[in-house]
Amino acid sequence: MADGREAYLKFLAVFDAIPKEKRLGGLVNKFALAQHDLVVLIGYNILPNHPGGAAIDMFRFDAQGKIIEHWGFWQSLDEPAVPKQPRNTNGSF
């Protein structure tokens, strides 16, 4: 993918053009935090034939708004670390 905001938006537009009934999954963002040059996104992935997973993405940007670092974490919802029935009423999200 080319550098820059416009290239990234063009990349995302490819996914937006897929009709919803044909999509194989998706990401639901539940929380976003931005401070100075850092952005954190927390949400979950929806996957076909799979319970999906919790996702955390962290980005650091340069002065021109270009992503210069990315850290990501994904935890499958079918693994014991994220119980299907939490012990509290808050749930995973």
**Does the residue 2 lie in any domain?**
no
What is the CATH classification number for the domain harbouring 43?
3.10.450.50
Q: How many domains does one find in the chain? A: 1
Is residue 9 one of the residues assigned to a domain? Answer: no
Residue 41 in any domain: the answer is: yes
Cα gap 5→67, rounded to integer Å: 9
Domain region containing 32: 24-76
Q: Are 40 and 60 in contact (CB under 8 A)?
A: no
Tens of pLDDT, residues 31-61: 999 999 999 999 887 766 777 788 898 999 9
The answer to the question of residue 46 being in a domain is yes
What is the reported pTM? 0.60
Q: Is residue 85 part of a domain?
A: no
pLDDT tens track for 64-78: 988 899 888 877 777
- Residue 53, number of CB atoms within 10 A of its CB: 19
